[in-house]
Structure 1
Amino acid sequence: MHIAVIGAGMAGLTCARQLQQQGHHVVVYERNADVGGRMGTRQTELGGFDHGAQYFTATSERFRKEVAAWRKAGWAAPWEGRLVKLEKGTAVPAGRSNAKQRMVAVPGMGALGARLAAELDVRCELSVTRLERHGDAWLLSLQCDTVPVPATAGPFDAVVLALPADIASRLLQPLTSLLPLAAQVSQEHLEPCWALILGFEQPLDLDYDGAWVEGSRLKWIARDASKPERRPGEHWIGHASEAWSTEHLADDPERVKEKLLKAFHEATGTHVQPVYADVHRWRFAQALSTLPGACLWDGQTRVGVCGDWFAAGLDGSGRVENAFLSGSALAGAIG
């Protein structure tokens, strides 16, 4: 079949690779300039910063085998950083969660998506704005920021939506009468996350590499350069809480940066000013709940949906493993 995959994050790339291996002709559409979704690396004059997904773990046998293959290929390595909880500025042991082996892509999280996409037909900076039934096939309406005239792609025998639930729902909503799965997708919602990116000239002399922060605008901070094969330097990432990010979603980025930098100083007890500081708004970052199962597939209309907001047999959502298992399951369902 000729299949369109919309979204080049972990779920979309996993699904597209497996579909191609199964003999289908696959085209991947991505609205951003880079692939990988929230497994992103911001490139700066100081080097790369993993401002999205911080690490991943593997609990299922299927994903453990995949991660082992990535390690063998030199695409991923363990992160042995010391992780703690910060409670009122005091570092305390992180507990059982600190015992999990955490993996990262090398030399940055964004490198994994680029490698997974290497043998795929991926078309970046193209937003899919509409799905249209064309006989037994599908046409896609496309929009490019640099070309004001909309375009059409297709026909495709099948369409995969590997997108945040909110975006997938917008595409599916006009087709609710044709696609019963649209109602299920509309039940899900992903919360935003403001990310803080900091580079310092001198070491901060903190005795941990990552921390879950209590009672702060920030819920997580990490010394990015403590991860393997990163450029040396005092580089830190912070992630704001879902509640704070939602409340300040539309705020001016400079104001957000000021507030989150203050929170970083309060959490760490340091007051050294960074030589580089920026923020990034992840509009759809964390699912409030999960859909049961690993994916949705309508064999009659040949439309499927996958993403990290499916349970995929795991406890919780939003992880790299959820995305991988969901994309793989959908490719298996398509056959």
Structure 2
Amino acid sequence: MHLAIIGAGLAGLSAARALSASHRVTLIEKAENPAGRMATHETEFGGFDDGVQFFSASSEEFKREITQWKKEAWIDAWQARIVRLVNGRALTPARSAVRYVARPGMGALCANLAQGLPLATAQTVTGLQTWGNAKWLLAVQADTVAIPAHAGPFDAVILAMPPEQAAPLLHDVAPQLAAQAASVHLAPCFTLELAFAQALDLGYDGAFIEQSRLAFIAHDNSKPGHRPGERWVAHAALAWSQEHLQDDLPRVRDKLLKAFHEATGSQVQPVYAQALRWPFAQAVQPMAGDCLWDANLRIGLCGDWFAAGLEGEGRVENAWLSGRRLAQQIMQSMPQD
């Protein structure tokens, strides 16, 4: 059986690695590299983890996977001092689970997981259509090719992408799945990358910020295995991001830089500052369950927008568990090659 997996973020890669032992898989990713919201943006000042800053584990299944990643030297524990900033005052929050980061940036973890898997990048799937006897063709558009092409046929299709992107693809071919996907909303988020010519010496490596346009800041180069240099990544509050979603990025950059100075008390000006927009950043209220799978249509959905038995907002563990459990359902319902 040949399966197409649309999206090479952690959920898609988790499903692909589980399925590849018994089925043929082809990953199709619209970005130039696998990673999704675990991407690392490389600049002349070093890499910036623009999306996921760290991850932890609560399920035994994910803890076992993390143990393997550590053996591969793909990840390390981040011994960071994380505080809460309230009106510029640093308060140490309650101790949390061990925080892990990838070396030399979060995107490297997905690059390692993608090794050995058939992966087509910089290709956007624009449509699904049936072909022959219970097969699927994908309409694919690439920037380098003026005319849309088709990929397939495939015996099954997995959509490992935000629900707002999955629902339109499913509207005509799987309306029930489309309606389920459309019931979930991912909040947007702006990210601010900052590089400085000198150390800020703030006394902490990360901070959750209250009463600010910003929600979290991280000292990127404090993470093990990351390139030296004074780099900070700031995430805007979700509500502020939603309110200013249509603002131009230079305006967002200036507003968030001002918020960074106000929150940290540092007035040192950066030598580099850039804002970027994540239109679909976080599932504030994940969908109950692990994934969606229609065995008759042979279409499935997975991602961090599924609860996967965890409490709280969608995060890295949700994505990995969702992809793995969708793969398990597929292997139970589809014959092996």
> Which TM-score tier does this pair reach, normalised by the shorter chain?
over 0.9
Which residue number in structure 2 is paired with residue 61 of structure 1? 60
Alpha-carbon offset, residue 7 of structure 1: 0.2
- The residue type paired with residue 115 of structure 1 is N
> How many positions carry a matched residue from both structures?
330
Deviations 1:143-202 (A, max 9, x none): 11221200011110000000001101111112244xx22221110011111000001111
Which residue number in structure 2 is paired with residue 13 of structure 1? 13
Which residue number in structure 1 is paired with residue 150 of structure 2? 152
Q: Structure 2 matches for 1:41-80, cutoff 5 A?
A: 41-80=40-79
2 CA distance for matches of 1:303 and 1:99? 37
SS in 2 for 1:149: coil
Q: Is the 8 A contact 2:215 2:235 kept in 1?
A: yes
2 CA distance for matches of 1:320 and 1:14? 11
Deviations 1:21-66 (A, max 9, x none): 2x21111000011111011111011111111100000100000000
2 CA distance for matches of 1:269 and 1:34? 36
From 220, 224, 227, the counterpart of 1:228: 224
- The residue type paired with residue 131 of structure 2 is H
1 CA distance for matches of 2:7 and 2:313? 18
Tell me, yes or no, if structure 1 residue 106 matches structure 2 residue 137: no
Tell me, yes or no, if structure 1 residue 249 matches structure 2 residue 270: no
From 211, 231, 238, the counterpart of 2:234: 238
Tell me, yes or no, if structure 1 residue 307 matches structure 2 residue 297: no
Q: Is the 8 A contact 1:188 1:288 kept in 2?
A: no
Q: Is the 8 A contact 1:285 1:318 kept in 2?
A: no
- The residue type paired with residue 99 of structure 1 is S
1 CA distance for matches of 2:146 and 2:238? 34
Q: Is the 8 A contact 2:284 2:314 kept in 1?
A: no
Q: CA RMSD in A?
A: 0.9
Which residue number in structure 1 is paired with residue 3 of structure 2? 3
From 254, 263, 274, the counterpart of 2:270: 274
Which residue number in structure 1 is paired with residue 335 of structure 2? none
Q: Is the 8 A contact 2:19 2:327 kept in 1?
A: yes
2 CA distance for matches of 1:317 and 1:262? 28
1 CA distance for matches of 2:58 and 2:48? 26
- The residue type paired with residue 37 of structure 1 is G
Which residue number in structure 2 is paired with residue 163 of structure 1? 161
Alpha-carbon offset, residue 270 of structure 1: 0.6
Q: Is the 8 A contact 1:7 1:161 kept in 2?
A: yes
Tell me, yes or no, if structure 1 residue 319 matches structure 2 residue 315: yes
Q: Is the 8 A contact 1:78 1:103 kept in 2?
A: yes
**Displacement over 4 Å in runs of 4+:** none
TM-score by length of 1: 0.97
Q: Is the 8 A contact 1:84 1:93 kept in 2?
A: yes
TM-score by length of 2: 0.96
Question: Percent same amino acid at aligned positions?
Answer: 55
Structure 2: stretches of 5+ with no match in the other structure: 332-337
Which residue number in structure 2 is paired with residue 40 of structure 1? 39
Q: Is the 8 A contact 2:291 2:322 kept in 1?
A: yes
SS in 1 for 2:280: strand
Alpha-carbon offset, residue 280 of structure 1: 1.4
Alpha-carbon offset, residue 244 of structure 1: 1.0
Structure 1: stretches of 5+ with no match in the other structure: none
